[in-house]
A and B are shown apart, each in its own frame.
Chain A
């Protein structure tokens, strides 16, 4: 009997231990990735393959670039974690780590170890989301993003810290903005306005009304671009949406190249703007520049700038849309996106600023050669075609930001 009791006690002891072990939930790494995404491929080779060999960790993979269902699920997961968008997207318990580089690799490994050691703090959030349960994130790694940036930050003497990864997106903002700016659609309005203002022979009024026109135009363009970016961000992981933008860019690229080839041997010069539209805008400009009340003149010029830019946006919708997608695919949101959109708009308006500045200085109006427009079609077409193809077939190449 005593022997039996001893066996029972030993069994109970081990059973309790067994129960205790089983109570420990296995930590799972959810790896949302895309086939063709180089950072995902790097993570698979450098980290995922090793983790899959381990018994104490479970790896669950979701391909999101070619699988609509998985893509939609990632959108749900990202909405719960309220992080920036993009892949590779790694989830461990309450922690989400976006992107892959040396620092993120370290963070993923650290998070796995953390949840293994503090199993009471671990819960399978992705599973809960999948089950349709409402989850409130309690993230222990909320400041991971700041740490990852340190990898690519260099210190330049006298200037300070500079993040190298920003160069590529910044260059794209300058180049695409500049090419977009030589689109002649809205330039004719500025030239007419400057001529009308010069006619007033009042430099102060010219500076005031001209600056208001330019600033309002820039602001409208910026707001439209920023709105696009936010729309794109909300659906950026959708393959369908990215493909649609890619197809649009290819179509617009081909159209621009066709316009260049068609017009390259034709006369350079100004296209005669539709008479009705031209007369309406000209009469508005005349009315507002000669308006005695300065407030009405300012409001009128602002309204003119808004209406012209909204209508003329159709003329150059392609490049800002593709640039917004470029920001989205690089996970650039918030203040960073504001800065890049501002860089784009400043370079977009550079030709306008130059024309206005010279007019203020000399009280004479100058024009840029229309030959530039021809080449803006060529360069713009090549950029759009290239970005369109990359967006559809190799988006990883334009993911500068990881």
Chain B
């Protein structure tokens, strides 16, 4: 599964989620493409980031099948991914 991860260096929730996502990458077969809100403006533009960060966009091919927004626990992330699968 392809996942677009949009974070920002100034966002504390993103820092926490980056670490949790590394754990997820160990347990699940995910291909992560990371973008920074401030430094990858062109790429981020097409995903319409709302008012909260971080944003994880789950793709099946090029089609968005789910979106996880904000700070979540490891269990919540795992549960969400399993529901998508």
Interface on A for B, CB 8 Å cutoff? Answer: 184, 187-189, 191-192, 195, 267-273, 278-279, 282, 365-371
Contact = CB atoms under 8 A, between A and B. Distances in A.
A369 B9 contact: no
A269 B9 contact: no
Contact of B10 (A188, A267, A268, A366): A188
B37 interface: yes
A269 B51 CA distance: 9
15 contacts: A188-B11, A195-B10, A267-B70, A268-B71, A269-B70, A270-B54, A278-B10, A278-B38, A282-B38, A367-B11, A367-B16, A369-B12, A369-B16, A370-B13, A370-B70
Contacts of B50: 272
A369 B52 contact: no
Contacts of B49: 272
8 smallest A-B Cβ distances: which pairs?
Answer: A367-B12, A269-B70, A267-B70, A367-B15, A270-B11, A269-B52, A188-B10, A192-B10
B4 interface: no
A72 to B, nearest CB: 48
A272 B71 contact: no
Given A367-B14, A370-B70, A271 B9 contact: no
A267 B53 CA distance: 9
Nearest to A365: B15
Contacts of B8: 270, 272
B69 interface: yes
A271 B13 CA distance: 10
Interface in B45-69: 49-54, 69
A184 B38 contact: no
Given A191-B9, A192-B10, A282-B38, A269 B71 contact: yes
B13 A270 contact: yes
A370 B9 CA distance: 15
B75 to A, nearest CB: 15
Contacts of A371: 71
Given A279-B38, A367-B16, A192 B9 contact: yes
Interface of B: 8-16, 37-38, 49-54, 69-72
B38 A370 contact: no
A270 B38 contact: no
A269 B38 contact: no
Nearest to B11: A270
A195 B53 contact: no
Contacts of A195: 9-10
Nearest to A271: B51
A180 B54 CA distance: 24
B14 A270 contact: yes
Contacts of B51: 271-272
A271 B38 CA distance: 14
Nearest to A193: B10
Contacts of A268: 13, 70-72
Contacts of B52: 267, 269-272
A87 B59 CA distance: 68
A279 B37 CA distance: 11
A269 B37 contact: no
Q: Which of A271, A278, A279, A370 has the most CB of B within 10 A?
A: A370
A365 B13 CA distance: 12
Contacts of A184: 12
Contacts of B71: 267-269, 369-371
A189 B8 CA distance: 12
Contacts of A366: 15
Residue of B15, B38, B53, B54 ringed by the most chain A CB atoms within 10 A: B15
A152 to B, nearest CB: 42
A172 B50 CA distance: 38
A269 B12 CA distance: 8
A368 B13 CA distance: 7
Contacts of A188: 10-12
Given A195-B10, A367-B14, A367-B15, A272 B37 contact: yes
Nearest to B17: A269
A267 B70 CA distance: 5
A195 B7 CA distance: 14
Contacts of B11: 188, 191, 269-270, 367
Nearest to A370: B13
A305 to B, nearest CB: 15
A201 to B, nearest CB: 16
